[in-house]
Amino acid sequence: MESLSTKSQLDMARNVHDMGSINKMREAIASGDETVLQEAAQQFEAIFVQMMLKSMRKAQDALADEDSPFNSQQVKFYRDMHDQQLATDLTSGGGLGLADVIVKQLGQTEDSYTPASVIRSDGDLSSLNRNRVYNVAEAQDIALSSQSIRSQSAQKDAMFESPEQFVESLMPIAEKVAEKYGMDPKAIISQAAVETGWGKFVIHKADGESSHNLFGIKANKGWQGEQAVVDTLEFNNGLPQKQKAAFRSYSSVEDAMEDYGRFITSQPRYSHAVENASDAARYTHALQEAGYATDPEYASKIMAVYNSDRLSALMP
């Protein structure tokens, strides 16, 4: 009956591939069944592979064209389902070798322990099974601790439900800032769209509150306000590299827009951009030349949005 119960516990955890399944694996491993240990190790390996695939997909999404049909929510939904199955397939029939390492770590033999302590008269777990459970608990604590650290870090999340809402909400503010600093409001909106993917990837602080940073302005030494540290892609010799950077955080989009106008017009290195602020193409090219972003295609991407049918259709 115990082997049947153990099998049931693993069945409940199988194919879930998330941290919630680890508790069920932990209970199953406590039975001491070597078959169960092997299955649990394979599921740990599947979780690891899926996390690896998910990280790769995020990097791919960051570089993907926003308007590409392969970047739609429907495609991502079915892609995630495919990745879950792929993780299961990759870790079956021998897998990547990680399961074997886990088995060696958790599946110690009785020869490693004093025989008198293997079976206790009070009916408690043997030292062999206790050691397995403790090892699984340690692995669980490490995984959950890592997950907690990630949750405490800033991340990028959606702030607007659609490009329509993005333009409708920001255009009135952009127009005021543009009039104050002699800029083109459409160019401001286009740059914000490139920086945030039409508001889908706005930096949010650890507590989930939006930073309202629409232009990717970093928190330099002169910045006295709040900031959020998040992973970002920087280009080095034309190649993207993942780095951590501190970005400015604002209390509202109005503050973010105002700071953008003040930032551009107060920095000497952007003087050429300010001089050409009425010409979007020259303005964005001057921003790139002055080092606003490391992306070699930065100006081209902004102008692609600026001249797109999508933005033209959304303009009031």
Long-range contacts of 218-224 (CB under 8 A, 24+ apart): 218/245, 218/246, 218/247, 218/248, 219/246, 219/247, 219/248, 219/249, 223/248
Closest C-alpha to 17, from 41, 39, 48, 38: 48
> Residue 254 CA to chain centroid, in angstroms?
26
To the nearest 10 degrees (0 to 180), the angle between helices 34-63 and 127-152 is 10
Give the C-alpha separation, 288 to 290, whole Å: 5
The CB-side HSE value for 35 (13 A sphere, CA atoms) comes to: 6
CB 267 within 8 A of CB 277: no
**Active-site residue list:** 234, 259
274 vs 247: CA distance, rounded Å = 23
Query: From the CB of residue 245, how many other CB atoms can be counted at a distance below 10 Å?
Result: 14
Residue 168's identity, in one-letter code, is E
Give DSSP secondary structure letters for 145-210.
HHHHHHHHS-EEE-S-SSHHHHHHHHHHHHHHHHHHHT--HHHHHHHHHHHHTTTTSEEE-TTS-B
